[in-house]
Structure 1
């Protein structure tokens, strides 16, 4: 294990996904206390069997709902004595879609809610406590593709681009309070879902979840104190 300080008390959304599991496990290995949030509690239980529930939290919540996240945030802050050192927002979604001239509102709303609005709902629940303490780290997961549009990906790319702008705005707003806000922007993550969706592509060109998790941990650490509103592009 790397010789690093404990990450402290950390909240991870999308904790049962491939990247979420890697991030949570890394924080656990480094001695952190973690609140795991996912849209289905059973996914968390099956992903982390035997996790010490007297120290860590497993919470089911809809990250696109301000009300649901407010409730989850209250439970986290109550259990963690009002202190969250890092918030890692991984929850989101991807789907290919129609061309722009045929794009349906439902697909647009789905991507915007999952990838952009969720950042608002999650930070509303937990950032005020960081402001009160004048300390904290917020890390989001955007995408390398957010930089430029691509065919049949308009809604997804627009939502990840919106997320990047939210990260940048939040970074400017929170820097005076001692809080950093940044993101990792992977190309393609090497996950079982991506391997299944793209069986003809060589996954050696993709980014491993362990590498992505270590980059998240860096952004959540004091070593990243001088980074504000940055998107660290990850390529294999």
Structure 2
């Protein structure tokens, strides 16, 4: 393990999910110190047994709540870690929906809150400290389908498209301060949930969470210092 000055300090939201686990594993193998955020504390301790008794932080919180994220990330993580080198925002949601003309406001709000507003709520708790230090990486998880609308997915696609625009805007704002903001845009990730939801599909055509985690690791590394507002499409 490196000393505290060179150890990467990384925040991961949606850490207990399939991609979150893979990303956490990637950074653990690099000797990083992690703050793992998920909606339920029980899920975190179940997925990461032993980590809560170490230098890492397991934190339960609502990523759509700016006050929640301020308390967790500014109040607890920055106090404990001193700095955050990289923020990986994985938390979000997916649902098929009604036809666009029949879209319910509840479905629209759910997708926009989970996928777009959460990015604002999470980053506003961390980005100011990165700007102050003139160093940092922020990586969001968007979606390949964000580029174009398709049937019965209007709210989801609109929310992921909104997330991409937020990433681009924040990237332009943060670049002059030494902070890079980018996203990975997977087609379909090979997760247990997706296998269950699409039993007739061929998972061999999907993106492995391990490969996605490595790409996220690249975007969170010094090698990605010249990338700003990019969405790296992950496909097979």
CA displacement at 1:53 relative to structure 2: 3.0
Q: Runs of at least 4 residues of structure 1 off by over 4 A? A: none
**Does the 8 Å contact 2:146/2:160 carry over to 1?**
yes
Q: Secondary structure of 1:125's partner?
A: coil
CA gap 1:111/1:89 in 2 versus in 1, 3 angstroms = same
Provide the C-alpha distance between the structure 2 equivalents of 1:15 and 1:140, rounded to a whole number of angstroms: 13
Provide the C-alpha distance between the structure 2 equivalents of 1:66 and 1:7, rounded to a whole number of angstroms: 28
Q: 1:233 maps to what in 2? A: 233
Does residue 103 (structure 1) correspond to residue 99 (structure 2)? The answer is no
Provide the C-alpha distance between the structure 2 equivalents of 1:132 and 1:89, rounded to a whole number of angstroms: 20
CA displacement at 1:50 relative to structure 2: 1.2
Q: 2:76 maps to what in 1? A: 75
Q: 1:87 maps to what in 2? A: 87
CA gap 1:100/1:49 in 2 versus in 1, 3 angstroms = same
Q: 1:150 maps to what in 2? A: 150
**Does the 8 Å contact 1:18/1:191 carry over to 2?**
yes
| TM-score for the superposition, normalised by structure 1 | 0.96
Q: How many pairs were matched up? A: 230
Q: 1:44 maps to what in 2? A: 44
Provide the C-alpha distance between the structure 1 equivalents of 2:215 and 2:79, rounded to a whole number of angstroms: 29
Does residue 201 (structure 1) correspond to residue 201 (structure 2)? The answer is yes
CA gap 1:185/1:7 in 2 versus in 1, 3 angstroms = farther
**Does the 8 Å contact 1:7/1:220 carry over to 2?**
no
CA gap 1:170/1:152 in 2 versus in 1, 3 angstroms = same
Provide the C-alpha distance between the structure 2 equivalents of 1:231 and 1:12, rounded to a whole number of angstroms: 18
Q: 2:170 maps to what in 1? A: 170
**Does the 8 Å contact 1:7/1:27 carry over to 2?**
no
**Aligned alpha-carbon RMSD (Å):** 0.9
Provide the C-alpha distance between the structure 2 equivalents of 1:99 and 1:159, rounded to a whole number of angstroms: 16
Q: 1:25 maps to what in 2? A: 25
Runs of 5+ consecutive residues of structure 1 not aligned to the other structure: 1-5
Q: 2:122 maps to what in 1? A: 122
CA displacement at 1:52 relative to structure 2: 5.2
**Does the 8 Å contact 2:51/2:58 carry over to 1?**
no
More deviation in 47-56 or 165-174? 47-56
Provide the C-alpha distance between the structure 1 equivalents of 2:26 and 2:179, rounded to a whole number of angstroms: 22
Q: 1:210 maps to what in 2? A: 210
Provide the C-alpha distance between the structure 1 equivalents of 2:153 and 2:110, rounded to a whole number of angstroms: 13
**Does the 8 Å contact 1:86/1:138 carry over to 2?**
yes
Does residue 189 (structure 1) correspond to residue 189 (structure 2)? The answer is yes
Q: Secondary structure of 2:88's partner?
A: strand
**Does the 8 Å contact 2:52/2:58 carry over to 1?**
no
Provide the C-alpha distance between the structure 2 equivalents of 1:149 and 1:142, rounded to a whole number of angstroms: 14
Provide the C-alpha distance between the structure 2 equivalents of 1:228 and 1:26, rounded to a whole number of angstroms: 22
Q: 2:3 maps to what in 1? A: none
